Amino acid sequence: MKITIYGKQMTVRESLKEAVEKKLTKFDKLFGEDTEAFVTCKVRKGVKIIEITVNYGGVTFRSEEENETFLTALDRAMEGLERQIRKNKTRVEKAIKKTPALIADYDDDEYVEEDDFEIRVKTFPFKPMTPEEAILQMNLIGHAFYAFTDSESGDTCVVYKRKAGSYGLIVPEK
């Protein structure tokens, strides 16, 4: 597994890097060498935050935790990744047939089968607008995200509200 560790507006200590690498080696038996893991460490208002993103075969697992210490946040983020893998193991198995080890490592009694999804379908017209207009619409209807057609590019995009209170914009890759 390729692990990239970086600090956002901070320098990551060597001891934290070693702890992250040691924890993530737990997933070596699940994922192949082509797997990429990105770990971001940051401090916001005195709170330590660790964000772990693992990309493997088109499937992304992500966990973000905050705590008073980086090591506690790291432990909780690892637990979150394990939960995601357990929860999604049948979907991952279907998507990634070449790695049965990813599925076989977890106990079945901790897993609830989720083959049938109840999907609620909503339709609404996509009107061309700017991301700023989309954010205003999103706030008006009280949602955490809003899909729209970008008036400049014509792409279908999504704006969303981030945990920190700022906004994000998702645009399709070309």
C-beta separation of 159 from 152 below 8 A: no
What pLDDT, in 10s, does the model give residues 88-146? 666 655 555 544 444 444 444 444 445 566 787 877 777 789 999 888 888 777 788 99
Interatomic CA distance for residues 139 and 160, integer angstroms: 10
Decide if 120 is inside a domain.
Answer: no
Decide if 117 is inside a domain.
Answer: no
Higher-confidence position of 56 and 111: 56
What pLDDT, in 10s, does the model give residues 147-162? 999 999 999 999 999 8
pLDDT surpasses 60 at 24: yes
Decide if 123 is inside a domain.
Answer: no
Same domain, 97 and 146: no
Same domain, 29 and 101: yes
Higher-confidence position of 129 and 32: 129
Decide if 62 is inside a domain.
Answer: yes
Decide if 73 is inside a domain.
Answer: yes
Starting at the earlier edge strand, list the strands of the sheet with 167-170: 128-129, 145-150, 156-161, 167-170
What pLDDT, in 10s, does the model give residues 125-134? 777 899 998 8
Same domain, 48 and 74: yes
pTM for this predicted structure: 0.57
pLDDT reported for residue 115: 56
Where in the sequence is the domain holding 143, given as residue range(s)? 128-170
**Among 33-37, 74-78, 154-158, 170-174, which stretch is predicted with the lowest mean pLDDT?**
33-37
For residue 165, the 8-state DSSP code is S
Decide if 116 is inside a domain.
Answer: no
Q: Which two tokens stand for residue 124?
A: 């609404």
Same domain, 50 and 93: yes
Amino acid at 92: V
Same domain, 25 and 105: yes
